[in-house]
Structures are given as structure tokens and as C-alpha cells.
Structure 1
Amino acid sequence: MRKIHESDISLTPTQERLLGYIAAQTTISGAAQATKKELSQLMGCSVKTIDRAITRMSREGLIKVEPCHSENGGQLSNAYSVVNS
């Protein structure tokens, strides 16, 4: 685990890679829109690992998670973006 910024938040290597991906997508298109399954395939880990990483980074205030719905109201994915501090 490495500490990020001046804070006491230490991220695992997978969390760091995921945060880097979300940051890049935030810069390119405003958010990373994906399902947890898509993110798990991209990161080469389980959906449960992605879920824990997203939960933790959201709780720590590093990322914002917004659900993306279809026209009929069903959830398609989430949009993940880095929170500017």
C-alpha cells in the first residue's frame, strides 16, 4: 500500500490502478461509465474486489459514483469521477 497526497489514505495496487483509470476517464470524458464487471475485467480482478475498492474510495471522498439509467428506469452502469479537492 502506498499513501496518496498528504493524507493518510493508503491504497492497494489495484485501488491505485482503478483510481488512475477513473482519473484518466474523468479528464477525457468527464467520468468513467462502466459496470463493476467491466471494471473487474479491465483491472484483472474480481467484481468483489472492484466493489470494495469503489466503496472505499467513495467513502474516503476520492471518487463520486452516480448511477446511469436507461429510458425505462433500469440501471445500466455507474459513472465514476474523481472528486476535485
Structure 2
Amino acid sequence: MGGINTNLHPICDSQGRPMDLFLTAGPVSDHIGARALVSGLPNVTWLLGDRGYNAGCFRKALQDKKIRHCLPGGKQRKTHVR
């Protein structure tokens, strides 16, 4: 039997201190966590994230909120991102 695992999706300030947390089931994609976090993002100019938040819909949501981002492209991404 497999154990239960979870993913924690934090929103942190510029010092790395958590401001908000969102918990998803382990097998749920980070894209789901990213979508859930978008509405709760504070008024910021930059967002730093890992490649788990590489989804085009998340990038678009950040663009709509005028938030610049540093998100590396995922290994399976068909179009290269800087």
C-alpha cells in the first residue's frame, strides 16, 4: 500500500517567509496548485517559481495581472521560453 503524500504551494515574501499556503494531494499536478494561487497573489511586480508552475495558463494569468516572472520552461514544453 502506498502512503498518502501532499504538495505544499506557498506564496512567500521577498525574504522567503510564507504569506499563504495551498495544499494539494500528491498526485495532483502543480498546475492545479498554481491556478488556485493566482487569485490570492499579493500586489507584486515579480514572481519566482520552479518549473512545476510552467503551464501556459499560469503564465497568462501572471501576464494579465502584470506580474513579471522567472519560471524555467519544463522539459516537455514544446515552445522554448527564456
By the TM > 0.5 criterion, same fold? no
The answer to which structure, 1 or 2, has the higher relative contact order (CA under 8 A, 6+ apart) is 1
Q: When you count helix as a share of all residues, which structure comes out higher?
A: 1
Which TM-score applies when normalising by structure 2?
Answer: 0.31
